[in-house]
Amino acid sequence: MNKIMSIKKNYEFRKVYNHGKSLANRYLVLYIYSNGLDNKRLGISVSKKVGNSVVRHRITRLIREAYRLNQSIFNNSYDYVFIARNASSNAQYHDIERSMIHLLKRHKG
């Protein structure tokens, strides 16, 4: 099983926000940035506005699991940062997964 490479440092998130392309739908905002590495990296951001810590951790787990199960459709050498929107606080797994795939299809055109 492949370990998910993560974006953890604030400056890494800022680089993706400042130079990347953004797409959004009801549940998620996606920032995509070419990282020049030979692997893909995932960053997840869930604001306190979305809910309390239980809700935020649940959404983080849903996003990470949807990413893990659909890794094959993500291109290598890109950073992907998913930001949960307020509507995601009561979203189910399939809502998050559908939202994620929708944003990727829009990116690939």
> pLDDT, tens digit, for every residue of 18-55?
999 999 999 999 999 999 889 999 999 999 999 999 99
pTM of the entire structure?
0.94
The string of DSSP codes covering 9-27 is: SHHHHHHHHHHSEEEE-SS
pLDDT exceeds cutoff 70 at 1: no
> How much is the average pLDDT of 81-106?
96
Domain layout of the chain by residue ranges = 10-108
Work out the mean pLDDT of the chain and round it to a whole number.
94
Beta bridge partners of 81: 31, 43
From 50, 15, 52, 49, select the one nearest 34 (Cα to Cα): 15
Token pair, residue 85, equals: 């929107």
Distances, alpha carbon 29 to alpha carbons 2, 3, 37, 72, in Å: 25, 23, 23, 20
Task: Specify the CATH number of the domain 10-108.
Answer: 3.30.230.10
Locus of tokens 């030979």? 38
pLDDT class of 108 with cuts at 50, 70, 90:
confident
pLDDT over 70 percentage in the chain: 97
Strands 28-34 and 78-84: antiparallel
